[in-house]
A and B are shown apart, each in its own frame.
Chain A
Amino acid sequence: MLDENKPRKKPLVQVKNLKMHFPIYRGILKRQVGAIKAVDGISFDIFEGETLGLVGESGCGKSTVGRCVLRLYEVTDGSIDINGTDIATLSGVELRAKRPEMQMIFQDPQASLNPRMTVGSIISEPLDEHMIMTRDEKRERVGELMDAVGLARRFADRYPHEFSGGQRQRIGIARALALNPKFIVCDEPIAALDVSIQAQVVNLLEDLQQKFGLTYLFISHDLSMVRHLATRVAVMYLGRLVELGDAETLYMTPRHPYTQALLSAVPHPDPAQAGNIERIILKGDVPSPANPPPGCTFSTRCPRAQAKCKQDSPKWREIGEGHFAACHFIE
């Protein structure tokens, strides 16, 4: 390290030039006629112990990124380095050995829990798969996990349908924690919950991060919740990152026109201010990722777009300390 006083944080996850293209097949011969470029060349780091928020509109590819990072999809191109190993190229056996380090919390707590399994068996399934433990040890571990997420141990023999949405999400969190992971991808974990329950789950995620030193990739479309939770935030648009920076800086002084429009669109729960907020209303919809516009993908909706934007794709570059953006017109 050059600067002794300022120790650089260590990246736990390093994603480089990640691409995920889903082929489109047509006709009797099922020939490939194109590809949906769900993720088209993105790079970012996640430092140990931090929460990286990933925001964007639906269909921009944020969930696909989350799944690629855990290699739930076979990525088209790029490398994903988690704790020193590039998981994009690991063989099945090696990948399986790596799985305990990285886990996921899913959006829909109803769909991600098997309705025919008891809560106890859902939480202990990862233990069955990856650990050699006696039945008593497993029961003890399940009990610990249920304590950690705030579920009473006596519920272990119940089924998911007997729980409310917030409690089901707690079951999903307990399952993700079972193998002491370092890194957890949270894919819209609160989107399906009511406002008053959202706060409970977010507080739980924060407590667990503190307690177990977890690193999160927090995917969400709820910009105010991401601001609350994330250390750094990445903004995605149509398969690419448009801006990434420290949460505070990004929310206070967004630089990319898309980030500016996105942040200005969030309604403020304060009617006294409702008239004073300058709002950038974007025209039109997000273009199809099967046929993205040439040049800058945001150029079709950008209020500042010029001829150049429709031809050249802007480079992803550092515009301030730890602050990245992809736009021709940022100094």
Chain B
Amino acid sequence: MDQIEQANSEPSGGLGIGAYIARHIREYGLLFALIAIMLFFQIVTGGTLLKPVNITNLFLQNSYIIIMALGMLLVIVGGNIDLSVGSVMGFIGAFAAVLIVSMDLPVAVAIPACLVMGMAIGAVQGYFVAYWKIPSFIVTLAGMLVFRGLSLWLLEGQSIGPFPKSFQALSTGFIADPFGVGRPNMLALAVGVAAVVLLVWLGLRARSRDARYGIEGEPLGLFVLRNAIVAAALLFVTWKLAWFRGLPNVLLSMVILTIIYVFVTERTTLGRRVYAVGGNSKAAKLSGIRTERLTFLTFVNMGLLAALAGLVFAARLNTATPKAGFAVELDVIAAVFIGGASMSGGSGKIIGAVVGAFIMGVMNNGMSILGIGIDYQQVIKGLVLLAAVFFDVYNKNKEA
């Protein structure tokens, strides 16, 4: 506690909470926007949004977007874009169906094969972008057409399914409750509490370290408030999940992936260098960074995650259809930009992209519950994207 007091009084002495929020308006704005949107739909749907079954659905429905947003953030931070992810996702779903359903290969063989295929696709596209300096927009636009066509060809225009149970578990499975209580699911509650403790502990540790190195930190009041909100949300969600069927498998993989990518982007030399390449690739190159290889790797990574998303999606629908992944790249890219990434590269955060994806997801889900037509849904989503980016640019101009 002693250290926290110091953290508050020392570096942020002259800075009030209001001023601090104003300076970090982007991060807080995003969090508050998500909360506001959720509250809004909770009210107008008459409480349906936050029912246990719907919260579970929210995760299942949006998992593939979030998974791809992780990779897309790195691609965009590196100064590129990938338009092919929707098609690749559909193609991998089709590929999996052919391997598992038509060729009867074991799931344990088919899944790695699909992931490797995704990486190979990313590698080919990345090769042209990184080593031949062909704009990523063009390379991946070509990829979008190619893989859309290839999945039609693989499926011969038909849907292929159903998948075996073991494959479906990728998406619709739930983690067994070792405590064996059933409802409420004790594992879910335990995970919720553990996550809160971990988050607070990490936050406190970071604060005390910031204080030691004189880094100006968040005012204490705000730190407490923000953590209280996040903790309440976490406990609320796990509590609700506990009253349905517990923790979905896909939620677990999403959380683990998010943690890995936060770590890679914020703590490792690899992540740091991707930001440097996006920020100024010439300067990065002249600082001894192998810019081409990094760009290449962001595409390989994107291919891997698109493949994973394709598997998750196919598993949820329990069938591979030629339409799978159609226009999904737009949702993924929108999520990343709503999350605050810059079109010119060099800035953006994983957490931002994930929250951006949730904002899109909650809006999709809420509007569907309300029975709003797909036409209005598109219009509203488009306007939200524009508003988010406008908010960014507006703040930047005010700063300058």
Asked if chains A and B come from one complex, the reply is: no
Task: Spell out B's residues near A (CB within 8 Å).
Answer: none
Task: Spell out A's residues near B (CB within 8 Å).
Answer: none
